[in-house]
Amino acid sequence: MGRSRAVTLVLESVRVRRGDAVILEDVGATIRSGRCTAIAGPSGAGKSTLLRLLNRMLEPTSGRVLLDGTPLPALDVLALRRRVGLVAQQPTLLTDTVLDDLRVGCPDLTEEDARSLLVETGLPPTFADRPTAGLSGGEAQRVCLARTLALRPEVLLLDEPTSALDRASAEAIEQVVKDLRAAGGTAVLVSHDTAQARRLADDVIVLRAGRLTEHGPPEEIEYLRAVAS
């Protein structure tokens, strides 16, 4: 993976409503460049919603999200999503073959580079020849990760990236995060795995019922200690 330009994301008084339900309430946080930030908290706390705000897959009802000081709506949305890549927990494959899927945003991607990306995400290089129909959820999610990595994003957003994987495959994904950070990039991941958050994260954001309740290094986060005990 080539060197990524480090960028900083800032949430300012972000609120998200769906009808009468408040999903996020007055969330303010800085996601620092060149680091891995984990978003933790119980189910339904708003973690995936926060993640999707960071590349405009969702818009806040009020408040702002900024990338290097620029409000996201001021940026071209397609250019933004190339810079800030999201790998959702429920993957969406867009073509009939794995190789074609990896080329969706990068049509000049060589077959050799495609196979290297698959290996990087814990899949065999021969996976490039597979049809996308019939892939397991974990396989499809890793293909989506390889597709995102082909764009060389500055920020990588990962929603429960290892929840459907065995230990060896999960370690491959964790190495992707470590490599991105080592190259100067920024990673943000939603994870219910508190041990993973402690292993990977430089910073942890904890949400409870849509509110930010803790934000700091993992060793200072009471939520991680409480869940692990």
40-83, pLDDT tens digit by residue? 999 999 999 999 999 999 999 999 999 999 999 999 999 999 99
Bigger pLDDT: 77 or 7?
A: 77
Distance CA 102, CA 168 (A): 22
pLDDT at position 163: 87
pLDDT at position 17: 96
Instruction: Using the structure block, give the residue that is written with the tokens 């999610």.
Output: 141
Residues whose CB falls within 8 Å of the CB of residue 5, separated by 6 or more in sequence, listed in order: 154, 184, 185
2 pLDDT band, cuts 50/70/90, is very low
Domain count, the chain: 1
Domain presence at residue 82: yes
pLDDT at position 96: 97
Domain presence at residue 1: no
Residue 4 has pLDDT above 60, yes or no: no
Residue 130 has pLDDT above 70, yes or no: yes
139-177, pLDDT tens digit by residue? 999 999 999 999 999 999 999 999 888 888 999 999 999
The interaxial angle of helices 137-149 and 167-182, nearest 10 deg, is: 20
Q: Say whether pTM exceeds 0.85.
A: yes
Q: Using DSSP, how many helices (H) and how many strands (E) does the chain show?
A: 8, 10
In terms of residue numbers, what domain contains 179? 9-228
pLDDT at position 1: 47
pLDDT at position 180: 94
Residue 7 has pLDDT above 80, yes or no: no
pLDDT over 90, % of the chain: 89
Domain presence at residue 4: no
Q: What is the CATH number of the domain that holds 132?
A: 3.40.50.300
Residue spans of alpha helices (H) in the chain:
47-53, 77-83, 98-102, 111-120, 137-149, 167-182, 194-200, 222-228
Residue 3 has pLDDT above 60, yes or no: no
Domain presence at residue 3: no
Answer whether 97's CB lies under 8 Å from 130's CB.
yes
